Structures are given as structure tokens and as C-alpha cells.
Amino acid sequence: MVEIDPWGSGTVEDYSELFQEFGIEKFNPENIPEPMDLMRRGIIFGQRDYDLITHAMKNNEDFAALSGFMPSGRVHIGNLMVMRELIWHQQQGAETYFVIADLEAHSARGMSWEKCEKLSMDYILSMIALGFDPESGHIYRQSENQELKDLQFELGEQTNFNELNAIYGFNEETNMGHIQSVLTQSADILYPQLEEPKPTVIPVGADQDPHLRLTRGLARRMRLFSVKESYASFEIPDRYKPSINQVLQSHNGKIKSKKAAKQLEKQGADNELINALKSGGSEELEPRIRVLSRRASPELFSELGSRLQNVGRVETYDEHFDIFDGDEQEIKKIVRDTEVEHGGYGFYMPSSIYHRFMTGLTGGKMSSSIPKSHIALTDEPSDGREKVMSATTGGRETAEKQRELGGEADECPVYELYAYMLAQDDEHAKKVYDECVGGDRLCGGCKSEAAELMQDFLEKHREKREEARDRLHEFGLEPI
Ligand code: TRP
Ligand code: SF4
């Protein structure tokens, strides 16, 4: 069964439980030097491995950001988030990639190539208008990128039909183009690392997580070596790390397996863990970093062995090394460098951030195929204004009730407009919220204010798009 469908119409509420199951973690803006508004306001709520990105930003190390759009409809305010997230990362120093997913639009949405090409210009112009720098950043169409397609082919060798079925709910009827477009997206996600491995963040809506799960697996399988924390010659599943660490701590970092088994049994630990430890007998548990060969030649394996000698005490086995008292980051670097020098990719697993979706202006889902649900970035500014004025709200039936009970800002698409894009600053967003729930704000006035801001935004955006159009040739792009 598919649980999150990237081509379907689920909402974040449906996803939140699944996230824990799939290992998505909470996004914590506190670790970031100057978080962007979407981070501060809780609109970006989830992440995978984002600490790699924070670390790179803080230490001025190379990192990349990539995301993409299917050119299958008009660019609308719901697309703003990914665009702004990419631009923000570019401004923080990321090598930034903007993907026009025309292969996917062709196979999953049946868009003609001509239409794809036409619509994609809309996305490119808005992206530049919003602040993307096409000189230092990259824009590519999937269909025109041969390196990407070669990578896609290689990634295809690392997965199979069963895995794709399990992740996406494909079946015998699924067309091969659609299946290929999934691998193309994985190739997109790893593309920034082709020249050189680097942490890469993929800002997306929550529905895109299946692609990240697939790609993280593929990135790992493409490696010649893998590196992991270990405690003994036998394997203990990663999820038991905290329990093992706790036992080790209470015994100054060393304890016999069977003794650890006893102690954990008393504490009511899982049988799987206890049995694994019992099978270890009198072997001592001792933390170590394990480097396993996945696909390295015997020569490369021994070459790596000699490079690791300086890092710590190395025990060599048939297909892995155990390194004691070594620094994990240093080991990872040596492994990655060795791999890349010998023709491997050395991919980092991609990081990701997830944002909430904007609710449609009419309630329900915001979709490019429902005109009233969204405001296109190319809508007439006065039409944008009208759409805000006729949006659904979280208001009460009467003004008296609103004053008495307060509005339901958390359920209000108009409040979302403020929080996601219209508020001048956090203060402003908070003021709207507090006044609304406190009964000091009525929907009519609140909407007029938002409508005004929307019209203003659309007017300015239109001007900036025209400026961008005039400059396209400077960036080697053709206006369409
Ligand atoms: N599948 C994405 C969408 O539905 C588009 C996309 C293609 C993408 N390649 C990507 C998103 C790489 C993030 C990263 O809009
Ligand atoms: Fe929404 Fe504003 Fe009405 Fe509150 S006052 S429910 S934020 S429109």
C-alpha cells in the first residue's frame, strides 16, 4: 500500500503520523544562525539530515540546494514556498539548482513537450523575479540534460520493481515512462554531487518524501563503502544504540556482551537485542567505527585499510574494518576521498526540509487545476485582490460571535496568506493572529488588508518578471 502519494491529493494532517514512521524529524530553527521566515513561523516543520546543511552554512563549506517543478500548470502562490526556500539557500551560499521536471510532466500529467516548454518559462521568470541568481545558480530541463539521464540509468540498476511498488504503489499497469520519471527525480536529487560529493538540501512539500526515501537508499547503494557506528563483531540494529550506550556508560565504556544482555533483560529490553547480545558471549562491547566494503575491489579495500591506519587502531576483517578511538568525521572523509579518487561517487545522502501546504482559498486543496483555489503569480493584480476578498475564512457567523469567541485563525486560509507570504515581518503575522483569536479583528477588514497586500505583491512581481524577461539573454536563456 502506498502511504504518501506524490501525485495524489493528501494533506499534512494525513502525513504527520507517517512521518515518525518514516524517520522525518522535527525542524528546529534554533540551530540556524538567521532562519528564514518560513522556518521561524513553523511552516517548514520537518527535515531529514538538515544538520549537515546547518554545519556547512556555519563553517562556510560547500553545499547545494535543489528542487524542481513539473511545468504542468500556472505558477501560483502555493509554489512560492519552494521557490523562496531555494533562493534563501542560494543566498546562504548554496550552489543552487532549479529543475524543470518536463519528463515527469510529460509522463505523469500527459503534457505535450510544447506546452511543457511554454509553461516552464513562467516558472523561470517568477524564480528570477523572486531573487534567484541565474548566474551563480543553475536551471535545467530534465529532457535536455544528458548527464542526468546517464545517472538515472545507473540508479535504475540499484533498484527494482518490488521496491518501487512498495514505495509508490505502482502495479503492472503503471507505464514505464512514469517509472522512469521517478528515477529521473532521484537523479535530480543527486545531480549536484556529480562533480564532487557535498551535502545537498531538497526543499519540498511533504508529499515528495517518497522520492527522498528512495533516493537516500540509492545514494547509499551507489557508495563503494559504507561507514557506521558499531559495538561488537556481530551486528546490533541501529535503533538499539541508545540502550547500548546507556549500558556502556554505566560500565566505563566496556562490558561483556552476556553481562549487558542480563542487565538489559532486567530493564525489559526487546528480545531481539537481548538475543543478539547473548550470542556475543564473553566478547566485550566496545564502541568502534565500522567501514564496510559494498562494491570496492580487493585492491581498493586494502588501499583504504592503509589510509585508515593513522586514524586509530584498525582491525581488519574480510570485508570490513573496525576502527577504535577514531574520529567518525575524519574516517568518513578519508573513505569518501578514497572512493572518489577511484571513480566512485561518494554521495552524501540528500537532506530535505518539508513545508506545510497552503490551503486553497476556497478551503480544500490549493491546486493549479482549480482556478478559484489559487492565485497565479501572473494573475491580474485586481483579480488577485478579488480572490482574496471572496476567500473562505475561519470567522464566526456574526460579528458579535466573532468579538465574543474570536476567529479561528488556525483554520483560516486568509491567515495563511499573511503567515506564508503577506506579513511584513513576524510581528505583523503575530498581530493578525492575536487580534483574530482575541476577537479584536473582523474578517471584512482583515481580508481587505490582505487583498491590498496581495494586489501590491502581484503588481511588483509582474514588474520584476518583465525585468527578468529583458535580461534572460544575459543568462543564456531564450524567452519563449
Ligand atoms: N516531482 C516534483 C513535483 O511534483 C518535481 C521534481 C522533479 C522535483 N525533480 C525534483 C522536486 C527534484 C524536488 C527535487 O513537482
Ligand atoms: Fe481569518 Fe482574518 Fe477572519 Fe481571523 S479575522 S478568521 S484571520 S479572515
Give residues (CB < 6 A) around ligand 2: 393-395, 407-409, 412, 414-415, 432, 436, 441, 443, 446-447
Q: Is 361 helix (H, G, I), strand (E, B) or coil?
A: strand
Alpha carbon of 204 to ligand 1 centroid (Å) = 8
Per-residue confidence (pLDDT) for residue 10, from 0 to 100: 54
* pLDDT, mean over the chain: 93
The pLDDT value recorded for residue 77 is 97
SS3 25: strand
Distance 454 CA to ligand 2 centre (A): 15
Cβ atoms within 10 A of the Cβ of 212, count?
Answer: 23
Instruction: Establish whether residue 208 lines the binding site of ligand 1, counting it when its CB lies within 6 angstroms of any ligand atom.
Output: yes
β-pair type (95-100, 138-141)? parallel
Compute the average pLDDT of residues 274-294. 93
Q: What average pLDDT score do residues 437-451 get?
A: 97
Name the nearest CA neighbour of 217 among 288, 160, 135, 275.
160
Q: What pLDDT is recorded for position 238?
A: 86
Element counts in the chain: helices (H) and strands (E): 20, 13
Spatial separation of the C-alpha atoms in residues 399 and 392, rounded to whole Å = 16
Do 357 and 436 form a contact (C-beta atoms < 8 A)?
no
205 vs 203: CA distance, rounded Å: 7
Distance, in Å, from the CA atom of 392 to the CA atom of 401, rounded to the nearest integer, reads: 17
Q: Which of 434, 442, 443, 447 to mutate to test the pocket of ligand 2 (most atoms within 8 A of CB)?
A: 443
What pLDDT does 12 receive?
Answer: 54
pLDDT in tens, 116-167: 999 999 999 999 999 999 999 999 999 999 999 999 999 999 999 999 999 9
Q: How far is the CA of 384 from the centre of ligand 2 (A)?
A: 18
pLDDT at residue 2, rounded to an integer: 43
User: Is residue 47 within 8 Å of 355, Cβ to Cβ?
Assistant: no
- Length of the chain in terms of residues written: 480
- Work out the number of other CB atoms within 10 angstroms of the CB of residue 89: 25
Q: Alpha-carbon distance 253 to 249, whole Å?
A: 6
Report the alpha-carbon angle 331-336-339, nearest 5: 125
